[in-house]
Chain A
Amino acid sequence: DTGVSQNPRHKITKRGQNVTFRCDPISEHNRLYWYRQTLGQGPEFLTYFQNEAQLEKSRLLSDRFSAERPKGSFSTLEIQRTEQGDSAMYLCASSLESGSSPLHFGNGTRLTVT
């Protein structure tokens, strides 16, 4: 168990550019979640997958945000046409399917939009 891995750890981009983040979950976990966290706040749920199926995406912040998990393993989160308000920590977590299983978080990707 190597934990949840997120890349890159930091990303600085200019407004209007597209960015993509990657998450590698714990291998035996079939659920994968994306959260966003801004300074001084708790994580905010964005979307989640069970295997390759995206089961909830209504809370993605806008249509500029999209996520994929093509083979039910790693996932990517893309933000198109970034805005300064997108600057935040983007956290990925994974869990087992059963009940309310604990989430195992990665250490996040910190995005700065200039």
Chain B
Amino acid sequence: SQKIEQNSEALNIQEGKTATLTCNYTNYSPAYLQWYRQDPGRGPVFLLLIRENEKEKRKERLKVTFDTTLKQSLFHITASQPADSATYLCALDEDAGNMLTFGGGTRLMVKP
């Protein structure tokens, strides 16, 4: 069966450290992978998109890697801040049709 797995346990880190979140998938062949941030009571907000032929993408303090052999994406936030505390969702797009399939999300807590 198809699965997208993100760590359901909250990730607690100290301000200034690098947060690394994992997205593993099974029985998908995504053409694209996207990461979103979601705050309580709000809709998800797009952060980064990476294509299947890209290994890494960066945007300011954010970095995403995509390993189609391992079937895994890693999402890094460097120099983390309390304002980065949120739930982070990965989403797969198999055919570039934008019918995204989301993982369950990982809650990040950055402590001052």
What is the interface of chain A, defined by CB distance below 8 A to chain B?
4, 31, 33, 35, 40-45, 48, 56, 91, 93, 95, 99-108
In whole Å, how far is A35's beta carbon from the nearest beta carbon of chain B? 8
Residues A104 and B46 in contact in the complex (CB < 8 Å), given A41-B104, A42-B104: yes
Complex interface: chain A residues within 8 A of B100 (CB): 43, 45, 103
Q: For residue A4, which residue of chain B has the nearest CB?
A: B43
* Interfacial residues, chain B to chain A (CB-CB below 8 A): 4, 6, 8, 31-32, 34, 36, 41-46, 49, 51, 89, 91, 93, 96, 98-105
Query: Chain B nearest CB: distance from A40 CB in Å?
Result: 7
A56 to chain B, nearest CB (A): 6
Distance in Å: Cβ of A55 to nearest Cβ of chain B: 8
The 6 A-B residue pairs with the shortest CB-CB distance in the complex, in nearest-first order: A105-B43, A42-B102, A102-B46, A100-B32, A100-B93, A100-B96
Q: Roughly how many angstroms separate A107 CA and B40 CA in the complex, as a whole number?
A: 10
Q: How far is the CA of A44 from the CA of B103 in the complex (A)?
A: 9
